[in-house]
Structure 1
Amino acid sequence: MDIIWPHLTFGNAQKPPIIFLHGFMGRGEDWRAVCEMLAGDFYCLAPDLPGHGENTKLPLDAPIIFNDLAKGVLTLLDVYALPLAALVGYSMGGRVALHTIIKHPARFRALVLESASPGLKEEKERQERLEIDGMRAKNILQNGLPSFLEKWYQAEVFASLQSRPKILDSIKTARRQNEAAWMAKIIIDLSPGQQQPLWEELPNLALPSLILAGELDEKYSLIATKTAGAVVNAQLQLIPETGHNIHTEEAGVFVKEVEVFLKRTNEVHPNFCTTQN
């Protein structure tokens, strides 16, 4: 029997469905502000990915792989008998979303990637990243999650948060609720060093796609630009004065971009609003 991930729901189940996938160390709760703003027009589901939030019932030694995560997303659709859904993913959750939609395109209507990468192209890059993430895992276990968080959020991709101390503090507070053992596991199991790159699959992705990155996050702005250039039906939006975590730094701007994109998608594909009985 497939496991149903713990999740939050917002809005009316008769509205067009959207599934939101959080990033590393996050949880479904991270999407609350976004989902509450979208709940008037959409049915929003925000699960806790394995190892995060309330989703820690599986054995710690059980491997977590991207194919199983894709099945977990589909299970959520099946439980609610949902029609074609839009899939939104942030950072690590974006990598899960992209993998899921490439493997199961018939189950989805549209894709939104926020600060997410299709992967590392070269084997050498992947091996180097896996070694780095292995050291990070040891750091978490040896020094604890609070110490790791301080170093993690000093990374260049999070530089914009330094000028938003209240937001940064709230993020760190939420992240400290995770279990160190699980975070050490996740950073290895779902490392970009473990995931096969998806760049060659992008030209085959026909679904409407919105690719988002914050302009202050130079690394992912470049990745987003390359990703959008490789996807046939992609729209690129680089959000001014915003960094890696757009939906937290500028929730209202994020919601507007997603809402306009999905409503335009619905104009092209009216049955996006159709529900199954």
Structure 2
Amino acid sequence: MLVNGQTYYVTNTVNGEKAVLLMLHGFTGSNKTFQESITHLEEHFSIVAPDLLGHGKTDSPDEIARYSIERIVDDLVTILQELKIMQCFVLGYSMGGRVATAFASAHPEMVRGLILVSSSPGLAQKDLQESRVQADNRLADMLESEGIRSFVDYWEKLALFASQEVLSDELKKRIRLERLAQNPNGLAMSLRGMGTGKQPSYWNHLADFTFPVLLMTGSLDEKFEKIAQEMQQLIPNNTHVTVQNAGHAVYLEQPNIFLSQLTNWLEVILKEEEK
């Protein structure tokens, strides 16, 4: 799909009778991230799952400014308009959650509900933003100088993903292949253009979210568990679910609980809308 001058790869199962769920993957991911979840969800929901700019089969332009989170949001709006979708539920994991929060902040009228999995609204303090920009630029340098395999070897050893060691060898292989299939230039540009330090802070927007919000984190992911608790204090209509024995990638580490919590929450919201 041609979107504002860039070719986006978008998986969609849009059916006019079903509520739409826009699913946004994390860094080094693609729409394949949610392939098992989509198989279960598409029975009751229309799914729109794009490869975000610089990821998967979507274009990886060389202009850093093209990766700003605001322009990514504009791309998502265009995709939804092309599919004639006026409103949807928006789910984002990690980086995708930051994009989802930006989308909800800019276009609340398009959001029926927001699901943030292991995500944050950015960094509120300027000094933290600046240090994170420097860290992300170093990672981008690694991608550009050493290539995708060396980067993935490093990325997989981050403490953030330590809880994934218990996953099956088959699943770990699938995740690794998804990462290795990425365009290193696209990932580097994504880090430089829309990394956590580069994006605006959306903490001050959370109090304005009038739509229902589901926050989902893993009990083993202490950093994002704490962030979710802080977000919960600011969002008027929210539910926070902590999934036991899961780390950052809740949807991978406890897929059945992830799906049951998600579908139950969505069904409650849809029933409330009917009243």
| Identity over aligned pairs, percent | 26
CA deviations over 1:221-277 (Å, ceiling 9, x no partner)? 111111122100010001000110111222222111111111111111139xxxxxx
Matching residue of 1:186? 190
Which one of 200, 205, 214 corresponds to residue 204 of structure 2? Answer: 200
The more displaced of 187-196 and 108-117 is 187-196
The more displaced of 83-92 and 70-79 is: 70-79
Q: Distance in 2 between matches of 1:101 and 1:25?
A: 23
Q: Is the CA contact (8 Å cut-off) linking 1:10 and 1:36 kept in structure 2?
A: no
Structure 2: how far apart are the matches of 1:150 and 1:228?
35
1:266 to 256, 267, 270: 270
Distance across 1 between alignment mates of 2:168 and 2:133: 30
User: Where in structure 2 are the equivalents of 1:228-243 lying within 5 Å?
Assistant: 228-243=232-247
Q: Deviations over 1:139-195 (max 9, x none)?
A: 111211111112212222211012225233321111100111111111111111111
**How large is the Cα RMSD of the aligned pairs?**
1.6
Superposition pairs of residues 158-197 of structure 1, within 5 angstroms: 158-164=161-167, 166=169, 167-197=171-201
**Structure 2 alignment gaps of length 5 or more:** none
**Counterparts of 2:165 and 2:35, CA distance in 1:** 23
TM-score of the two chains, using structure 1 as the length reference: 0.93
Residue 109 of structure 2 is aligned to residue 118 of structure 1: no
- Aligned position for 1:45: 48
Deviating runs (4+, > 6 A) in structure 1?
none
Per-residue CA deviation, residues 84-123 of structure 1 (Å, 9 max, x unaligned), is: 2000000000000000001100011000000001111111
Partner of 2:156: 153
- In 2, distance between residues paired with 1:204 and 1:173? 40
Match of 1:221, as an amino acid?
E
CA distance in 1, matches of 2:163, 2:22: 27
- 2:121 pairs with 1:87: no
Of residues 8, 24, 31, the one that matches 1:28 is 31
Taking the aligned partners of 2:192 and 2:131, their CA distance within structure 1 comes to 12
Is this contact kept in 1: 2:117–2:217, CA < 8 A? yes
Select which of 55, 63, 72 maps to 1:61.
Answer: 63
How far does residue 199 in structure 1 lie from its aligned partner after superposition? 0.8
Contact kept? 1:113, 1:212, Cα under 8 Å: yes
In structure 2, C-alpha distance between the alignment counterparts of 1:11 and 1:253, rounded to whole Å: 25
**Are residue 212 (structure 1) and residue 211 (structure 2) matched?**
no
How many residue pairs get aligned? The number is 270
Corresponding residue of 2:249: 245
Are the equivalent residues in 2 in contact too, given 1:157–1:218 (CA < 8 A)?
no
Aligned residue type for 2:144? L
Distance 1:168 1:222 in 2: 27
**C-alpha distance in 2, partners of 1:195/1:267?**
35
Q: Is the 8 A contact 1:34 1:252 kept in 2?
A: no
Q: 1:11, CA displacement in angstroms?
A: 6.3
Question: Can you list the C-alpha shifts for 1:26-81, whole angstroms capped at 9, x where unaligned?
Answer: 1112111111101111111110101111111x632252111111111111221121
